[in-house]
Homo-oligomer: A and B are copies of this chain.
C-alpha cells in the first residue's frame, strides 16, 4: 500500500490544480496552495485501530502526509505532544480546560512540525538550498531539519528575535542573517534572493507542505480525545499556518468519517500591538491590512500582514469562531499563572490563549463546562527575557529562612 495518498495541489482561491511532484510555490493568482489526498482511498484502507500501534510521532499519519517514500522522511521524533488537563485553572473558569503542549517537541516549538514535513518533502523533490524569513522559531526549526536532511539553509530574522533561535540556526550550520527591521523586511530580502539565486522559497505558505506538518496538531487533538473533538480551540495567530492547518485537518477527518458534523469553534488570538486579523474579522473583511508599527512581547505573533490571512478568517468564520487581541501585561500574568498553578512554563504566545479563554468566558461566549483546548506553541525556556527574576544570594555558611 502507498506510504502517502498524496494526489495534487489545489488553489483554495481560484481552484487551479497543480502537479504535486514538481516544486510549487504560490498559485498564479497569488494564493498559497493546499495539498489534496485521495481521501476516499484512505478511508477504505486506514482505520483508527491501525493508528493505535504506531509510533508516537506525527508520522503515524503518513498516509495523510505528502512524503511519498519513507526513506525521505527527515525526523527528530516530532509530534504526539502532551494534551494536559488544567486541574486548577479549569475549575476556576468552570471549564474542562486543556493545554496542547507544543513545548515538548524537537526545537521546543511547534515550528518543528512544519519543518519536519516541509524539509522532508523538499528533499524528496530534489531541493538542495532553501531560504526563509523568520521571527525566530521557524528559522531554528528549519535550520535544524535542513541540517538533518543535508540541505543548505539561508535564514533571515529580525534583530529583535529571541537570541536562542540565533543559536539554533548558527550551530546547525545555517547561513544566518539579521535585519534591522521586521519579518516583513526579512521576507523582502529573501524574496529577492530566491529570485536571483534560484533557491527554494520556504517562507510561510510560499511552499505548500509546512501546513501539512502543522495540521497534525488537529489530528492529534482529535485522536487524544478519542475522536470526540473539543468545543473550542484557541490559537495564537501570527502567520496563521497552525489554525489553517488545524481547520484543514478537521475537514479531512470529517471526510474520512472519523469525526462527526460538529467542529470546534476556532479562536484566533493576536496581540493588541499587532492585530490585523482581529481587525479584519471585526470589520467583516475577507483579508487584512498591513499593521503599522507592530509591537508585542509575543514575538512569534508579530506578523503585520499574513499571506494566508483570508484562510485564517475563513477558518474562524466557518466554525463560528472568534478573533480577539490581548494585552502584553495580561499575557505575562497568564504565563506566571500557568507555571505556578499548573507547572506549565509556556511561551508568551501560548500564554495569550489563556487570556483569551478568560475574556471569552467572562463575556459568555464560552459557556460553563465547555471543553476548551489552549494551544501552547512553544516552551517558555526559549524566552529567558520575558521572566524577571530577582533571587537572594547566600554565602555557604548562610541558612535558609523558614
Show the binding face of A for B, using Cβ within 8 Å: 52-53, 56-57, 74-77, 80-84, 88, 101, 103-108, 131, 144-150, 154, 156, 159, 163-164, 166-168, 170-173, 175-181, 185, 188-190, 192-193, 196-197, 335-336, 339-345, 379-382, 384, 387, 389, 391-396, 398-400, 402
Contacts and interface: CB of A to CB of B under 8 A. Distances in A.
Greatest chain B CB density within 10 A among A145, A168, A335 is at A168
Count of identical protomers in the assembly: 2
Nearest to A338: B171
Nearest to A168: B345
Contacts of A345: 107, 144, 167-168, 171-172
B396 A181 contact: yes
A77 B85 CA distance: 11
Nearest to A181: B396
Chain A binding surface, main DSSP class: mixed
Contact of A148 (B178, B342, B382): B342
Contact of A343 (B172, B387, B389, B400): B172
A115 B108 CA distance: 20
Given A104-B104, A170-B391, A172-B345, 13 more contacts: A52-B53, A77-B83, A107-B381, A147-B339, A147-B342, A159-B393, A163-B384, A167-B387, A171-B336, A171-B389, A178-B391, A189-B398, A384-B384
Nearest to A148: B343
Contacts of A107: 345, 381
Nearest to A343: B148
A156 B342 CA distance: 22
Contacts of A83: 77
A196 B56 contact: no
6 contacts: A131-B400, A163-B384, A167-B380, A167-B384, A172-B345, A177-B392
Contact of A396 (B76, B84, B180): B180
Contacts of A336: 171
A104 B77 contact: yes
A229 to B, nearest CB: 19
A72 to B, nearest CB: 13
Contact of A108 (B108, B131, B185): B108
Contacts of A382: 381
Given A103-B106, A339-B147, A396-B181, A166 B391 contact: yes
Contact of A172 (B146, B172, B340): B340
B395 A179 contact: yes
Contacts of A392: 177-178
Nearest to A131: B400
Given A339-B147, A391-B166, A400 B104 contact: no
Contacts of A177: 391-394, 400
A261 to B, nearest CB: 29
B393 A180 contact: yes
B193 A399 contact: yes
